[in-house]
Structure 1
Amino acid sequence: MNKQNFFSDVQSKINHALENSPAKDIEKNVKAMMSQGFSKLDLVTREEFDIQAQVLAKTRAKLEALEERVAQLEAK
């Protein structure tokens, strides 16, 4: 038996053992519990966060421009 076949055989046996072990059920249960916990929190996706950060940056720029314009008008 060559090394490649040996390692492939060992890997397949380990994968088969893990699929049939209680560890797989524990993993599923932990993922389900975490998903349930995260759904209760008021979280946003990274994409939503990035979009809001861009909106905020544009709003700040407009506010600064308006403040400068008001200051110029007040100076007149």
Structure 2
Amino acid sequence: MSTPRFLDEIGAKLSELAANSPARDIEKNVKAMLGSAFGKLDLVTREEFEVQREVLAHARQKLAELEARVAELEARLGASGDAEA
């Protein structure tokens, strides 16, 4: 019956050692450095990117519609100019 208690004590000691190990400190420092570096960059979130992508798609669609309309008006203007001559 003392075996599970012994294993629990070993597990607790190993957890304590892992929490206080230099590797844990290095991990914290690296995360802090990366967080600081990314904080200085001019980055956007995925949500902001998706919104801008939708706005661009809408603008492209509207541009295509306007180009088609201008081409149609130019064709009409050219046809009426030929009819007057």
Normalised TM-score (structure 1): 0.78
- Which range moved further: 9-18 or 60-69? 9-18
Root mean square deviation of aligned Cα: 2.4
Offset of residue 9 of structure 1: 7.0
Q: Which residue of structure 2 lines up, in the alignment, with residue 67 of structure 1?
A: 67
| Structure 2: gaps spanning 5 or more residues | 77-85
Aligned pairs for 1:1-76 (under 5 A) are 12-76=12-76
Question: Percent of aligned pairs with the same residue?
Answer: 57
Offset of residue 14 of structure 1: 3.7
Higher relative contact order (CA 8 A, sep 6+): 1
Normalised TM-score (structure 2): 0.71
| Structure 1: gaps spanning 5 or more residues | none
Q: 1:68 to 1:10 in 2, by over 3 A?
A: farther
Aligned residues: 74
Offset of residue 46 of structure 1: 1.0
- Which range moved further: 20-29 or 50-59? 20-29
Q: Runs ≥4 in structure 1, deviation > 4 angstroms?
A: 7-13
User: Helix, strand or coil for the counterpart of 2:44?
Assistant: coil
Say which one has the larger Rg.
2
Offset of residue 47 of structure 1: 1.1
